[in-house]
Amino acid sequence: MAVYKIVVNGDEILREKAKKVGKLSRNIDKLLDNMRDTLYAYKGVGLAAPQIGVSKRVIVVDVGQGLVELINPELVERDGEETDNEGCLSVPGMVGEVTRSARVRVTGMDRGGQKIELNADGLFARALQHEIDHLDGILFLDKAENLKRIQ
């Protein structure tokens, strides 16, 4: 497949609300494949379609437990609170402390159109929230404290 260039902070698409996916098609399959390849090429844990310049509500996440693909994901339940360092492929060289829900329930569809429901905690919950934020035009910078530059 293809590895896309990551869109970086300052590009308008990162601040727009991504469009909901209607009908599933080969184009969505190709998008998911390319997002997977891009995620692994950049050694990230999550990627949202706007980060590769595509205004679609599609994310991929892999925190070491295998790839999760979600179309039209929604956070339907949150519980608890945790603060931890976060970075972002679209904001290279920066990290900051972000407070997020400790546990979440997320729904969406897989590439076959089947409904998925995920219960997540730890890094998985954090990554899902971070990527869903991207779909709403929110960057981790908007929530971060103690921002610092890293090499």
131 has catalytic annotation: yes
Cα angle value 136/138/139 (rounded, 5°) = 145
Backbone angles phi, psi at 148, to 5 degrees: -145, 150
Q: Which of 97, 117, 131, 145 is catalytic?
A: 131
* Strand-strand pairing, 91-100 and 68-79: unpaired
The beta strands (E) that lie in the chain are given as 46-48, 58-61, 68-79, 82-88, 91-100, 103-109, 115-121, 145-149
* The token pair that represents 64 in the structure block: 């070491």
H helices present in the chain, as ranges? 26-41, 122-135
The DSSP call for residue 19 is B
Cβ count within 10 A of residue 119:
12
Active site (catalytic) residues:
131
